[in-house]
Amino acid sequence: MRMITRLLPLAVLAAPSVALADPTLECSQTTSSQVETGDCMAETEARVDGAVELALSFAMDAAKSLDEVTGRAVSAKALAEGQAAWTGYRDSHCDFVGTTMGGGSGTGIAIRACRIELGRARVRALMQAAQ
């Protein structure tokens, strides 16, 4: 029951965000300027970051349980290391994506879109690990 109670907020956070494939298009449906789109992207990124943290907590609970059952302290440590590596990859890769905009006004939006897309994929991977 505890897991269901914790999953409900994640479903509420993630479900509307996953409805469309492109975060920029999602925000563009409800905004009328690049500034508004940027604000929407920032809000979406914050929600996705929250979903990543929540999914990570589920995966960490599962990893700690596995470590207890097996008597080995390896799963939780590996997950923490993997999360740190993923965060570094996300930041570096999305910074690269931003450079492909040539310094244009859409650079920030492109970076946020990348971070949102990678974050959504990370939530799916963490939730799979939590099962």
| Full-model pTM | 0.82
Number of domains composing the chain: 1
Mean pLDDT of 1-20: 49
Identity of residue 18 = V
* pLDDT tens, residue by residue, 51-106: 999 999 999 999 999 999 999 999 999 999 999 999 999 999 999 999 999 988 89
Q: Got the DSSP string for 89-108?
A: HHHHHHHHHHHTTTT-TTHH
- Considering the chain, what is the average pLDDT of its residues? 88
Range of the domain at 38: 2-130
Tokens of 6: 């914790």
